[in-house]
Chain A
Amino acid sequence: MTSDYKTIVRDGLWDNNGVLSMLLGMCPTMAMTTSATNGLGMGLATAAVMAASSFLVALFRRLISQEVRIPVFVLIVASMVTLVDLAMNAWMHALYKVLGLFIPLIVSNCLPLARLEAFAAKSKALPALVDGLFMGLGFTLALTLIGAVREILGSGTLFANASLLLGPPFKAMELRILPANMGVLMMILPPGGFLVTGLLVVVKRLFDLRAGKEIRMSGAHCAA
């Protein structure tokens, strides 16, 4: 692993994207991408938790012995999730009412754990923070994309209710692409999640092939 920030950023957002390349974090990906707004919300909450837990693990990496590293990582991720959950409930209540549903689900995502094991445990604190953040933002990008495709095909809208998540100025983002009742219901239901995710993985590879990149297929060892 290099600590060159540019590579970290590009890896996180595209080259080694958590969902589209590594196929990690499938549980929240399937559950939360019924609309672009939901995908965005879940992604941002995950990015915050990933940045914080990666930073902490890298900071304490000399203290954490090999044998107990996994329980310690789980402990740190779960603590960060609970911390974010409590703090948002108390002080960002409007946002919590929209995102609150997603936050406990972050624990079921194995992408944070994978990054702690593969990167943060061997890295200095600052690069780990950047890696956690951009892996999280890459996750956000993938979830928003999947959500957008499913929402357009399934409900005919794009970024519906985005103003509930981002605030009233973002009302202009809420678009209607297809007339109401033209949506294909299946796209919002679970099968649509698998179909769209699969197709987007293919699209990403076609892009990479055209750009002459070698296909990186890591991960898939944990698909929770």
Chain B
Amino acid sequence: MNSAPPPLPVAPKPRTLLHGVILGGFCLGFGSLLAVTARVTKQDIALRAMEDRQASLSQVIPDGIHDNNLLRDTVTIKDAHDRAVTVYLARMKGRLAALAYPISGTGYGGKIKLMLGVDTGGRILGVRVLSHHETPGMGDKIEVGKSNWILRFTGLSIGNPPLHLWKVKKDGGQFDDFAGATITPRAVVLAIRNGLEFFAANKARLTGGKP
């Protein structure tokens, strides 16, 4: 009953420290490699992101109608849901010619981000999808590279068509949906309609005031 417990087997000399040093060494080495890469690429990546933004802006606002740098000429205002929206202003010889701002809708796979360009009368100059998570082969026809569906909005405005037709055909509106995907075009149509209403609500502030 009271016999002493057998002595514990003597563990081989632990080399934990050595393994720790090896692992730590590799972490340090590859960590520094990544830090250097991040540093080297940082400027180029920021530049590419700016070029992307510029490219998406020039798709919704024709280059010919303005002579300023859109990325430098912005104003931030709150939308109906109190979210800050950055509006890019296109000016020709100082006179406001057009505006572009990001809009978004909720599609089948999450948020669909778009860029909407309108002239000072609220007519659509162009609208493009910036990013989305819709089903490949179905919902992704909203991309201009995959289908020309998104181009049909050019020239439209609130009132053309009338507000009650700003829906997909399935909901009694005038915009086609795609085979197998209704949620995606519905979200895009709604986002554009909201975007136009945002302009209408802020028209005085956006077009008046500044030179």
List residues of A whose CB falls within 8 A of some B CB. Answer: 34-35, 38, 60, 63-65, 67-68, 71-72, 75-76, 79, 82-83, 86-87, 89-91, 93, 151, 154-155, 160-161, 164, 180-181, 183, 185, 188-189
In whole angstroms, what is the CA distance A60 to B29 when docked? 12
Find A34's partner among B23, B27, B136 (CB 8 Å cutoff).
B136
Find B22's partner among A68, A79, A91 (CB 8 Å cutoff).
A68
Distance from A186 Cβ to chain B, minimum over Cβ atoms (Å): 11
In the assembled complex, 13 residue pairs joining A and B whose CB atoms fall closer than 8 Å, in A order, are A60-B26, A67-B19, A68-B19, A76-B26, A79-B30, A83-B33, A86-B45, A90-B40, A90-B41, A151-B137, A183-B137, A188-B136, A189-B135
Q: Which residues of chain B are within 8 angstroms of A161 by Cβ–Cβ distance?
A: 145-146
In whole angstroms, what is the CA distance A188 to B140 when docked? 13
List residues of B whose CB falls within 8 A of some A CB. Answer: 15, 18-20, 22-23, 25-27, 30, 33-34, 37-38, 40-41, 44-45, 48, 51-52, 135-138, 145-146, 179-180
A72/B26 in contact, CB under 8 A: yes
A90/B44 in contact, CB under 8 A: yes
Q: Which residues of chain A are within 8 angstroms of B138 by Cβ–Cβ distance?
A: 185, 188
CB-CB under 8 A for A75 and B180, given A35-B136, A38-B136, A68-B19: no
Since A76-B30, A83-B37 are in contact, a sample of 9 more A-B pairs with Cβ atoms closer than 8 Å, ordered by chain A residue number, is A64-B22, A65-B15, A75-B27, A76-B26, A90-B44, A90-B48, A160-B137, A181-B179, A185-B180
In whole angstroms, what is the CA distance A71 to B22 when docked? 11
In whole angstroms, what is the CA distance A75 to B138 when docked? 37
Contact residues of A: prevailing secondary structure: helix
In whole angstroms, what is the CA distance A89 to B52 when docked? 12
A35/B137 in contact, CB under 8 A: yes
Contact residues of B: prevailing secondary structure: helix
Inter-chain contact total with CB atoms closer than 8 Å: 75
Distance from A53 Cβ to chain B, minimum over Cβ atoms (Å): 11
In whole angstroms, what is the CA distance A75 to B22 when docked? 12
B37/A86 in contact, CB under 8 A: yes
In whole angstroms, what is the CA distance A63 to B24 when docked? 12
In whole angstroms, what is the CA distance A71 to B41 when docked? 26
Distance from B43 Cβ to chain A, minimum over Cβ atoms (Å): 8
3 A-B pairs with the lowest CB-CB distances in the bound complex, closest first: A90-B44, A90-B41, A79-B30
